[in-house]
Amino acid sequence: MKLLMGNEACVEGAIAAGMRFFAGYPITPSTEIAEESSRRLPMVGGKFIQMEDEIAGMAACIGASIAGLKSMTATSGPGFSLKQENIGYAALAEIPCVIVNVQRSGPSTGMPTSPSQADVMQSRWGTHGDHPVIALSPSSVRETFDLTVEAFNLSEKYRTPVILLMDEIIGHLREGVDLPDASSLKIVNRKKPTVSPEEFVAYKVPEGEIVPPMPSFGEGYRFNITGLIHDETGFPTNNNAIAAKVSTRLMKKIEDNVDDIIRYEANGVSGCDILIVAYGGTIRTVKAAVKLAAESGIKAGVFRPITIWPFPEKAFRACVRDNNIKKVLVAELNYGQISLEAERILKSDAEVSHIGKIDGDILYPNEVFKKICEVVKHD
């Protein structure tokens, strides 16, 4: 049993998953991840480097991944904005890496020590162009460990950047956790080529698969990497048919595997008067509010997306329809970002309400309970 904060558990999970390279730049409230990585990585033969800025931190992670190391960087609001161009590069070039964003209040430099969940849409659409994204959101210290391992596994399996979308609440929360032995964990490593270097074609996908194998620089395989749309050889092309094929495959490798990628929780939904949607640190407030509602005679169910992107919309829609739920309340520390997703997914199936904050403070159980009563019109 260890007493860890979320940021520390993130590093332990990353090392257990095989992270051997971290590049980043200190920024509140994620700095403990860099600090702990600088201490822990040398113990396991890994490398830590503090870069001159967040852009370089992301670029260094891409380079280390190409060279064969599982790589991670960590940041918060303004730094996450700076990383976006290189996140897009990693998405197009299909380079595995993990980006941790411990969200804080914004916009701009905002309130560095205050919690927020306002980077949800940025994590999906922050870099330009249509691109694949996986984003996971933990709600406890132990789950931060588990989802960091999962982030690396998904990144390696699908050759894509994966975002661990934390918030300051979880990043700085301390809890007693019993971490599993690393030997008991399921660890996924990128698939290597099975052909000779002479036969190898950089982005040729094996029959019946959707993700190409990935050798490391220095293993004898020669290949070109570019941020331009490329053909199977990795060299740029302006051929529209090839561009459509490549871009569609990038999206489909996530879309066609949602059942493998998506994680969510649904509790107390059968016969509930209202369904509350929450994620990250806010779910802890919501669970307390649900107890207050129960004491007042209101049954509130909870739906928690663990995978934020791709959003578990099929499960969410089924949860609402199968249980004939007519009132949904989304609780989040922003102006209503997942609320918009809920409205899009449910359409006329249920009335969607929102409770949030953008003042740097958390939501409190009595505030959520009051909103629950207002939505169900309960005195």
Which CATH number do you get for residue 138? 3.40.50.970
**pLDDT tens digits, residue range 137-168?**
999 999 999 999 999 999 999 999 999 999 99
- Is 282 contained in some domain? yes
Question: How far apart (Å, rounded) are the C-alpha atoms in residues 12 and 145?
Answer: 7
Same domain as 292, residue 176: no
Neighbours of 56 (CB within 10 A): 19
Question: Is 379's pLDDT higher than 70?
Answer: no
Q: What is the CATH number of the domain that holds 294?
A: 3.40.50.920
Stretch 118-128: mean pLDDT: 98
Question: What confidence tens digit (pLDDT) does each residue in 297-356 have?
Answer: 999 999 999 999 999 999 999 999 999 999 999 999 999 999 999 999 999 999 999 999
Residue 231 belongs to a domain: no
The chain-wide mean pLDDT, for the chain, equals 97
Q: What is the predicted pLDDT for the residue at 257?
A: 98
Q: 233 in a domain, yes or no?
A: no
Residue-wise pLDDT for 213-225, tens only, equals: 999 999 999 999 9
Q: How many domains is the chain built from?
A: 2
pLDDT beyond 90 at 211? yes
User: Is 161 in the same domain as 283?
Assistant: no
Domain that holds residue 33: 2-184
Q: What mean pLDDT is predicted for residues 248-273?
A: 97
Q: Among residues 184, 214, 230, which one ends one of the domains?
A: 184
In a domain, 221, yes or no: no
Residue 242 lies in a domain: no
Q: CA–CA distance from 204 to each of 232, 307, 313, 325 (Å)?
A: 5, 29, 32, 46
Three-state DSSP class for residue 168: helix
21 and 149 fall within a common domain: yes
d(CA 38, CA 49): 8
Same domain, 149 and 273: no
* C-beta separation of 148 from 10 below 8 A: yes
End-of-domain residue from the set 168, 184, 200: 184
The pTM of this model reads: 0.97
Instruction: Compare 378 and 118 and report the one with higher pLDDT.
Output: 118
**For 87-109, what is each residue's pLDDT tens digit?**
999 999 999 999 999 999 999 99
Domain co-membership, 282 together with 157: no
Cis-peptide into 138, omega within 30 deg: no
CB-CB contact of 58 with 73 (8 Å): yes
Domain boundary at 137, 164, 184, which? 184
Mean pLDDT of 277-300: 98
Residue 70, domain member (yes or no): yes
Per-residue pLDDT, averaged over 3-21, amounts to 98
Domain assignment present for 244: no
238 belongs to a structural domain: no
Tell me: do 176 and 269 sit in the same domain.
no
| pLDDT value of residue 378 | 73
In our burial notation (b when 16+ CB lie closer than 10 A, e otherwise), range 111-122 reads bbebbbbbbbeb
